[in-house]
Structure 1
Amino acid sequence: MQISPWHERCSAPRRMHTRAPAEGLAGLRETWRADVVSGFLVFLIALPLCLGISMASGFPPVAGILTAIVGGVVATFFGSAPLTIKGPAAGLIVIALGAVQDLGGGDPILGYRRALATIVIAGVIQVVFSLVRAGALGDLFPSSVVHGMLAAIGVIIIAKQVHVMLGVPGVSGEPLELLARIPASIASMNPEIVVIGTLSLIVLFGMPMLPWSWTKKIPPPLVVVVLAMSLASYFDLGHEHHYHVASHDYVVGPSFLVRLPGSLLSAITLPDFSSAFDATSIRYVVMFALVGSIESLLSAKAVDSLDPLKRRSDLDRDLLATGIGNVIAGMIGGLPMISEIVRSSANVNNGARTRLANFSHGVFLLLFVSVAPWLLQRIPLAALAAMLVYTGLRLASPQELARTWRIGREQMVIFGATLLVTLATDLLVGVLAGILVKTALHWRNGMPLRNVLRPHVEVIEDGEVTTLRIAQAAVFSNFLTIKRHLAQVPAQRSVVIDLSGTHIVDHTVMERLHELMDEWNLVGRQLEVIGLDAHRGLSEHPLAARKKALEVA
């Protein structure tokens, strides 16, 4: 296969292929042990995260577990990607909490039930997305906008959960207000609760740094739960009482622990559709459907890149499974679900081979919550808050800022605009702002407005080679058209993408073409990108946006 110099610079070493498991019962006999073991290990990670995400979302703690059970036991059978784990995700906390607060009018129970209605409707929309083959949505949104959105979510999670970790209840407000109130919460923190939260955070950050290989096999969230429950018992959080530190009086008690209903059946809550089609509800339906679909699709694609068998998931089928799962979860009182990247990555690392791992993790959750709900009620909220603060710090990490800067300064502008507008308004407005900023930068760099959605593509057939000659602009907003042209080329033909006629080729297109070259190479097809010799990268990064050198100011 002929590979362009650009591709030689970008390609990472590929793993050796592993034999795929056999189909049917033979395949089940071959892989079930590895899948069940992986499902059990993922269950240990998922259990505390489901509780924490639920409480941060303004939902009852058991809501996240209901979602993970549906995601494992039900969604598995509707074609979910083979190695993804379905369940609640930190990335949707902001939307879920906003829905409860805005739709309840001060009544959290009513807000919860009305939020469930928006989740059900969003699930139906995701099913429709899958039927019209909207899995390509994962290719549409610019990486810098998505990462800016996730960083904003991380900041919001930290702003809300750090107060819980400090043992200061009842702190509420907008994200920027919550950040400003952190010094006041530090001044009035509850020492025993702070000990639990701080040690939990140390375990989460510290365990991955330990040099011993055996520690890599122990999920840090499990260690956090065991440690936090031991400290809760030592501090006697099960009984309300006062204690004194440096002449200050503090109160602790069961309010600092997880609260669950007596049984899983009693936790089932039906949605309230009474205001499902007013303007506020529709806004949250759109956010659940769009943000949830984008996150889920991006996660599924990321997990495919980790799959040692190098399988490529049917993203439309995975979206169908997610949509059906959300309809069911919303109908019984659960959070929205996606293909979750952290648990899915753990699933791959634990040696999972098929969807049975996702199914097993759901079954283990169902059995545990049915048999021992009393045990969960000994988990301190501060430990769950620490897990979410840790997640928020990973979403909004300085490394992500540095990575964006290396790709190009214009990417940092887009990232920053998305982040700041999201913090000041909401996710939908923030994503729109990021897209508008990116579009404006492309126009400034020479993209004709007529090419925003439709690139100029000329298809040339020459022997066994099809050349797509693209003119004017190849950018995120018109990439789906380019991809449709590629999909129409017969599998036996080689393809050359000629970008010599473009004024601007953005980072998103560079990234997507690199991914496509890897995917085609895995199935023995040839895809070559040419025509970038006259372009100058906007940074030294190999996937940076490129602009015609003669047009650089």
Structure 2
Amino acid sequence: MFKEIRNDFPASIIVFFVALPLCLGIALASGAPLFSGIIAGIIGGIIVGTASDSPLGVSGPAAGLAVIVLTSIASLGSWEMFLMAVVLSGVIQVILGYAKAGFIAYFFPTSVIKGMLTGIGLLIILKQIPHALGWDNEGMGSDSFIQADGQNTVSEIFQALNFITPGAVLIGAISLGILILWDKVLMKKHKVFQILQGPIVVVALGILMNYLFQNGILNFTLTDKQVVSLPVPESFSGFLNQFTFPDLSALTNIEVYKIAFVIAIVGSLETLLCVEATDKLDPERRITPTNRELKAQGLGNIVSGLVGGLPITQVIVRSSANINFGGKTKMSAIFHGFFLLISAITIASLMNMIPLASLAAILLMVGYKLAKPALFKEMYKLGWEQFIPFTMTVVGILATDLLKGITLGILFGIFYTLRHSYRNSHHLMDIVKNENGNEVHHIVLAQEVSFFNKASIIDTLDLIPENSKVIIDFSKSKSIAYDVLEIIKDFEINAKTKNIDVEKIKFIEAA
């Protein structure tokens, strides 16, 4: 379990630094207590990380559920009642795991998964630019084009240009420079730079520079909104008082069950998409058991709901950071959960010294590694059938949010699948002349012929001229839809009026 500790431990520290502001930002966007995001991050790391068999996936609160959480709390009128819905959603996910519903993950096209990774990479870059400039009006963790502050992803950048904070820009620029130097030069020079990761140095430097700002040693300042804002307990009992328990009376409220079902379905889809994406990023190409992952997420949501946490899914930003910075096993996810727990109890004040500009620089590097320009060229070379669903997934994610963007990509993927099926329902052999001088048309049907192929087969049969012969060959077919068989039978009847001779090969066996 600890054989990759030298890789997992430093990676877990970086995942912790990435996860901390995201947990807080998602809680803020969800209209939930800030500490509920930290609880979800702790449980996502320790509980889900232990129960899951995903080697590199990291779980925690998900931005994709923020709107659902916000509207659900409002409709139920109570945070405690909502927590009961989170518990029930976990129960539903465990049931889905035992029902082996994880197979759904294998129906997502590769082009869409790659588009998802690229779209998220570009989204991270666009969302972090304002934070790097010192404009922190929107909390970290948002994945929607339209933001809670009334701006959108693009207008927020222009808005940030009007509120540039020199101190934040200085920290962000130095941090980004260190990360690039570390990645391109230092890691190749000596092994010590592979163990001591660049983001750890960046965070430490950010804390130091913020301290110098506060004490007037450097003539810059950062506001409270430009640093991490982890709740600071006055004592251990104060820390424990931040946990909240669900309202058991909510079990009689039908609305709670409806919300639980929505959270379970949306959360499960986000998890399965992330599992597929994370497995594709894994250098060792390991495959995560999806049914076990659903059970692990369900367990996590049950525990999270019981102690006052947000809903949990596996999340690609933390998972990709884990992979990019050297994580090898699930111990990195578990360690990051313990770091969240320890920091919340003991060093919350120190964590609140971390500038968001430092974390923005780290996320900018994560975003770039997900959305390298070479990937667009690679997908284009694969042809339109791969490139269009890939591109539309990227555009959809940037213009709407994660799930809508993926849905758009899948719709285009389905279109090309149907188009491919339409074009390949049958093969028309060369037209020859028989002994009477009439044309002979030989149509060989495909192995699988569904009702989607009706139109192409009707078009082909309509082109058969009068006074000719047509051979309809079923010998290669294993499955033919009733709709298609009916079309062929109707054609055979109508062919007599056109003096068309119809011969069928293995028609009875195929039918």
Decide whether the 8 Å contact of 1:58 with 1:112 is kept in 2.
no
Distance 1:158 1:69 in 2: 26
- Residues 380 and 275 (structure 1), Cα distance of their counterparts in 2 relative to 1, 3 Å cut: farther
Under a length normalisation based on structure 2, what TM-score does the superposition of the two structures give?
Answer: 0.66
Decide whether the 8 Å contact of 1:261 with 1:267 is kept in 2.
no
Write the deviation string for residues 142-199 of structure 1: whole angstroms up to 9, x where unpaired. 1112232333333443333322221123259717833134233224311111112222
Q: Which one of 375, 385, 400 corresponds to residue 375 of structure 2?
A: 400
1:81: how far off?
1.4
- Residues 344 and 433 (structure 1), Cα distance of their counterparts in 2 relative to 1, 3 Å cut: same
Q: Which one of 278, 283, 288 corresponds to residue 267 of structure 2?
A: 288
User: Superposed, which structure 2 residues align to 1:189-338 within 5 Å?
Assistant: 189-210=164-185, 211-213=188-190, 214-236=192-214, 252-263=222-233, 264-270=239-245, 277=256, 285-300=264-279, 303=282, 305-306=284-285, 313-331=288-306, 332-334=308-310, 336-338=312-314
- Residues 41 and 316 (structure 1), Cα distance of their counterparts in 2 relative to 1, 3 Å cut: same
User: Superposed, which structure 2 residues align to 1:151-550 within 5 Å?
Assistant: 151-170=118-137, 174=146, 177-210=152-185, 211-213=188-190, 214-236=192-214, 252-263=222-233, 264-270=239-245, 277=256, 285-300=264-279, 303=282, 305-306=284-285, 313-331=288-306, 332-334=308-310, 336-338=312-314, 341-342=319-320, 344-345=322-323, 349=326, 358-447=333-422, 471-472=447-448
Decide whether the 8 Å contact of 1:101 with 1:111 is kept in 2.
no
Decide whether the 8 Å contact of 2:12 with 2:332 is kept in 1.
no
Give SS of 1:258's match: coil
1:401: how far off?
1.9
1:49: how far off?
1.0
1:290: how far off?
0.7
- Residues 103 and 398 (structure 1), Cα distance of their counterparts in 2 relative to 1, 3 Å cut: farther
1:221: how far off?
2.1
- 1:81 pairs with 2:65: no
Give SS of 1:445's match: helix
Decide whether the 8 Å contact of 1:120 with 1:330 is kept in 2.
yes
Write the deviation string for residues 85-112 of structure 1: whole angstroms up to 9, x where unpaired. 53337xx43x14434555566x9x9898
- Residues 343 and 433 (structure 1), Cα distance of their counterparts in 2 relative to 1, 3 Å cut: closer
Alignment-mate amino acid for residue 382 of structure 2: I
Distance 2:276 2:393 in 1: 20
1:378: how far off?
1.0
Write the deviation string for residues 493-526 of structure 1: whole angstroms up to 9, x where unpaired. xxxxxxx979xxxxxxxxxxxxxxxxxxxxxxxx
With 219-228 and 336-345 compared, the bigger mean Cα shift is at: 336-345
Write the deviation string for residues 16-40 of structure 1: whole angstroms up to 9, x where unpaired. xxxxxxxxxxxxxxx54x3555553
Give SS of 1:255's match: helix
Decide whether the 8 Å contact of 1:145 with 1:431 is kept in 2.
yes
Alignment-mate amino acid for residue 229 of structure 2: R
- Percent identity (aligned): 25
Decide whether the 8 Å contact of 1:72 with 1:358 is kept in 2.
yes
With 36-45 and 407-416 compared, the bigger mean Cα shift is at: 36-45
Give SS of 1:87's match: strand
- Residues 259 and 177 (structure 1), Cα distance of their counterparts in 2 relative to 1, 3 Å cut: closer
Write the deviation string for residues 177-235 of structure 1: whole angstroms up to 9, x where unpaired. 33134233224311111112222233333321113132122222211210111111121
- Residues 417 and 358 (structure 1), Cα distance of their counterparts in 2 relative to 1, 3 Å cut: closer
- 1:46 pairs with 2:24: no
Alignment-mate amino acid for residue 272 of structure 2: S
Decide whether the 8 Å contact of 1:70 with 1:362 is kept in 2.
yes
Gaps of 5+ in 1: 1-30, 245-250, 452-469, 475-499, 503-553
Give SS of 1:259's match: coil
Alignment-mate amino acid for residue 55 of structure 2: L
Q: Which one of 140, 156, 172 corresponds to residue 107 of structure 2?
A: 140
Distance 1:82 1:395 in 2: 19
- Residues 392 and 350 (structure 1), Cα distance of their counterparts in 2 relative to 1, 3 Å cut: closer
Distance 1:77 1:115 in 2: 26
Under a length normalisation based on structure 1, what TM-score does the superposition of the two structures give?
Answer: 0.62
Distance 1:63 1:394 in 2: 30
Alignment-mate amino acid for residue 288 of structure 1: G
Gaps of 5+ in 2: 140-144, 234-238, 427-445, 451-475, 479-511
With 259-268 and 207-216 compared, the bigger mean Cα shift is at: 259-268
- Residues 303 and 46 (structure 1), Cα distance of their counterparts in 2 relative to 1, 3 Å cut: same
Decide whether the 8 Å contact of 2:207 with 2:355 is kept in 1.
yes
With 436-445 and 327-336 compared, the bigger mean Cα shift is at: 327-336
Write the deviation string for residues 413-442 of structure 1: whole angstroms up to 9, x where unpaired. 112222333433443333232222222222
Distance 1:151 1:115 in 2: 33
CA RMSD of superposed structures (Å)? 4.2
Decide whether the 8 Å contact of 1:85 with 1:343 is kept in 2.
no
Give SS of 2:421's match: coil
- Residues 283 and 392 (structure 1), Cα distance of their counterparts in 2 relative to 1, 3 Å cut: farther
Give SS of 2:284's match: helix
| Counterpart in the other structure of 2:67 | 98
Distance 1:395 1:198 in 2: 20
- Residues 438 and 350 (structure 1), Cα distance of their counterparts in 2 relative to 1, 3 Å cut: closer
Bigger fraction of residues in helix: 2
Decide whether the 8 Å contact of 2:146 with 2:400 is kept in 1.
no
- 1:130 pairs with 2:130: no
1:449: how far off?
11
* Larger-gyration structure (1/2): 2
| Counterpart in the other structure of 1:526 | none
- Residues 171 and 70 (structure 1), Cα distance of their counterparts in 2 relative to 1, 3 Å cut: closer
Write the deviation string for residues 277-331 of structure 1: whole angstroms up to 9, x where unpaired. 5988865553322112221354257548356xxxx65432233112211332344
- Residues 46 and 300 (structure 1), Cα distance of their counterparts in 2 relative to 1, 3 Å cut: same
